[in-house]
Amino acid sequence: MRLLLLAGILVVAGCDSPRPASRDAERTPAPDTMRADSQVAWTVRPIVNAPRYFELRDWVTTDTLWGLAGSNPVDIHVASGAGRPWGVRASGARRAADGSAIAWVDTTGVWIMRRGERARRVLRFASLPQRPAGDPTFDIHWAPNGRRLLTSWAEEGSVTHALVDTTSGGLEPLALRLPGYSPPGVALWLDDRRLLFTVRALGGKDGATGYRESGWRGDIALHDLGTHQFDRVTTVNDGVFLEPVAAWGDTLLVMRRLSGDTLATFSLFDMRTWTETPSGLPRGSGIAATVDGQWVAVFRSDNLLSQVLIRGRRSDMPSAAPLLIPGRVTGAAWSRNGRALAVSTMAEEPVDGRPDDVRAVYRLSVIEAPENR
């Protein structure tokens, strides 16, 4: 992995755990360089007393983060690092957009818990007159208004997605099938009515067939809950895979990866015409954007180090000097005011005195904008 000029190296104390178990020529990758005179230094602040095994999910307020320490949801005060556990085991939990509740799925049903209250099972699987085929995937996604949850069941390559009413527990299976494509994967809610999914083609555009683990190509499909329409909205070449990242109004930020490539490029789609344009961002293995899309952080991660490239959307917004932090990024999120980026990482590092053994070291840090930005 080519590295830009490194402005700083973050080495912070971590938490130990046992060892965890066709080229596309139609676009030229965006340049990986930035003007030196446009770079400003952002401050990296480690949260050294974060809970063990912590993986970041998002910000709750401008001074509070939340995530999972193993299967335990925890809120963390950014200034002090003090953790406030929810007091429940909820592996894979997701938080409502307003931050007031979390939801998760276990083998018995779908649960919701509000801060300071007891967990409530809104849907008991055993009580369903006709349960979807297969086993629950434990994947769950809140609608922006908090009134519905999207979850799924899987069985031998078949996936059933369904909506759960957060008040009544009512279940509504969705018809999400596209001929020639594998079952869709959830990407994101655009609003309370529209959802985006990723779909992988089962064969080549030239009629070629044969199993490919990642499919022949990856497009984006849109489901409208009002009309019950499920349509593919992009058409890429074989060997190209798209993954929606974030939406601002009618503009969608998408990760665009070529088969066999380690780093992806990033594109912008107009959601009225679904026209694709290059974003001008450097390539990366991941990306996080502010709510308004004015700032993005591009990551280049491997098991040892992650490079962080912070870029402004407008040409007059100075880029941050590149940063290098230890470990692979496991979670990243911007604060609501866009002035801070929280990042959790995990690295496998040698155990002192036992060179043949490694330990998983978890870290949490906040990267903050300069005061005069």
pLDDT digits (tens, 9 = 90+) for 275-287: 999 999 999 999 9
pLDDT at 372 over 70: no
Q: How many CB atoms lie within 10 A of CB 8?
A: 14
Number of C-beta neighbours around residue 134 at 10 A: 15
* pLDDT at 12 exceeding the cut of 50: no
User: What count of other Cβ atoms lies within 10 Å of the Cβ of residue 236?
Assistant: 18
pLDDT of residue 170: 96
For residue 324, pLDDT beyond 60: yes
Structure token pair of residue 328: 């692979």
Say whether 95 sits in a helix, a strand or coil: strand
Q: What is the mean pLDDT of residues 163-176?
A: 96
Q: Indicate if the pLDDT at residue 247 is higher than 70.
A: yes
Asked if the model's pLDDT at residue 332 lies above 50, the reply is yes
More confident site: 10 or 126: 126
Comparing CA positions, the residue from 7, 58, 62, 43 lying closest to residue 373 is: 43
Please choose, from the candidates 278, 277, 181, 188, the residue with its C-alpha nearest in 3D space to the C-alpha of residue 231: 181
pLDDT at residue 26, rounded to an integer:
42
Q: Is the pLDDT reported for residue 36 higher than 50?
A: no
pLDDT in tens, 252-300: 999 999 998 999 999 999 999 999 999 999 999 999 999 999 999 999 9
> 366: phi > 0 → left, psi -120 to 50 → alpha, else beta; which?
beta
The chain-wide mean pLDDT, for the chain, equals 89
pLDDT surpasses 90 at 248: yes
The DSSP line for 26-67 is: SSPPPP----GGG-BPPEEEE-TTPPTTEEEEEEEETTEEEE
Each residue of 83-114: pLDDT tens digit?
999 999 999 999 999 999 999 999 999 999 99
Enumerate long-range contacts of 164-168, CB under 8 Å, 24 or more apart.
Answer: 164/110, 164/122, 164/123, 165/122, 166/103, 166/112, 166/122, 167/122
Q: 183: which DSSP letter?
A: P
Which pLDDT does position 22 carry in this prediction? Answer: 35
Residue 10 in tokens: 């973050």
Per DSSP, 201 falls in state B
In this prediction, what percent of the chain has a pLDDT beyond 70? 89
* pLDDT tens-digit readout, 56-81: 999 999 999 999 999 999 999 999 99
**Range with lowest mean pLDDT among 18-32, 155-169, 206-220, 274-288:** 18-32
Return the number of other C-beta atoms located less than 10 Å from residue 133's C-beta.
12
User: What number is the average pLDDT over the span 180-198?
Assistant: 96
Question: Does the pLDDT at position 13 exceed 90?
Answer: no
What are 212-223's pLDDT values in tens digits? 889 999 999 999
CA atoms of 103 and 114, how far apart (whole Å): 9
Q: Coil, helix or strand for 273?
A: coil
Q: What is the DSSP string of 211-264?
A: --TT-S-EEEEEEETTTTEEEE-----TTEEEEEEEEETTEEEEEEEETT-SSB
